[in-house]
Amino acid sequence: MLEVQNAKKYFGGVKAVDDVSLTVKRGSITGLIGANGAGKTTLFNVISGFCSLDGGKIFYQGESIGNLPPYVIAGKGIVRTFQTPKGFPKMTVMENMLVFVKDKNSGIWPAISARKKIAQREQEYVLKAREILNHIGMENKENSWVSELSAGELKLLEFVRPLMAEPQVFLLDEPAAGINPANLCGLIDLIQGLSRRGYTFLIVDHNLKFIMSICDFIYVMADGRLICSGVPEEVAHDERVIESYIGKKGTGEEACFPA
């Protein structure tokens, strides 16, 4: 569904993404891990159009999307979240959800000629937004100002807002960071439920327990390059991963992968 072929992105002498190729299958939950500065966010940026590619190609459903502007890529059904979410702080949670509605029938003329139908559709969107908020335990926050949300709530809102636009692929940049365990369970539930319905996820996160428990397949980056890929059990036991990402093997400094 999403295919990155030999992608390159350099910042002067820094090879942030250096000849990376990967495939994300439809309906999969694919993880991308690596130490700080490995190039994960830069790879997200080139896939979503926020950064130009210096080399290589990106295909979505067989169509080349490399170097298209972000709004065109989003319009094709690929949405991304950011490490530091902002939302629209002077709007309510519900208003923030409704901003993402993609209604082809909106416009001045339908607003004049079909007001009843539009009011009915608006009501449907509100119900859908409520259902999504309910899933992440934020049903009582729909009238709160976004500026009043905690960092964790803002993070969850950042993740669920694009659902209103019915995208096909989610690029999630550190969705688990700063989220309390109860809300994290809701988030995991939501991602797994969406994946079962055919939605596709590429997820970057430093929370290995979260990544290992939720992903079908994992890619590991170090210094701009892919060093390993496989199902969670394979990646957890790969010596290159243990040495370059988790800690020096045999020194007692290894950080543990979750069982």
Ligand X SMILES: Nc1ncnc2c1ncn2[C@@H]1O[C@H](COP(=O)(O)OP(=O)(O)OP(=O)(O)O)[C@@H](O)[C@H]1O
Q: Which residues bind ligand X (CB under 6 A)?
A: 11, 14, 16, 34, 36-42
Considering the complex, state which of residue 37 and residue 186 has its C-beta at the smaller distance from ligand X. 37
Cβ-based nearer residue to ligand X, 36 or 251: 36
- The distance of closest approach from Cβ of residue 34 to ligand X in the complex, given in angstroms and rounded to an integer, is 5
Q: What kind and span of H or E run contains 33?
A: strand 29-34
User: What is the DSSP track for 70-132?
Assistant: HHHHHHTTEEE--SS----TTSBHHHHHHTT---TT-SHHHHHHTHHHHHHHHHHHHHHHHHH
Find the Cα–Cα–Cα–Cα dihedral 242, 248, 251, 254, rounded to 10°.
-50
Q: Report the amino acid identity of residue 185.
A: C
- As measured in angstroms, the least distance from the Cβ of 223 to ligand X is 8
Q: Which two tokens stand for residue 39?
A: 């190039």
Q: Tell me the C-alpha distance between 96 and 92, whole Å.
A: 6
Smallest distance from ligand X to CB 255, Å:
15
Residue 153 CB, nearest distance to ligand X (Å)? 22
Helices first, then strands: H and E counts in the chain = 10, 10
CB of 158 to ligand X, least distance (A): 16
Residue 2 or 132: which CB sits closer to ligand X? 2
Q: Given the complex with ligand X, which of 14 and 151 has the nearer CB atom? A: 14
Beta bridge partners, 226, equal: 221
Which conformational region is residue 137 in: left (phi greater than 0), alpha (psi within -120 to 50 degrees), or beta?
left
Closest approach, Cβ 41 to ligand X, in A, equals 3
Q: Pick from 121, 126, 134, 128: which is nearest to 92 by CA?
A: 126
- Chain length of the chain: 259
Q: Give me the least distance between CB of 90 and ligand X, in Å please.
A: 28
Angle formed by the axes of helices 151-160 and 115-135, nearest 10°: 130
Residue 93 or 211 with smaller CB distance to ligand X:
211
Task: State which residue, 37 or 152, has the beta carbon closest to ligand X.
Answer: 37
| Closer CB to ligand X, 14 or 72, in the complex | 14
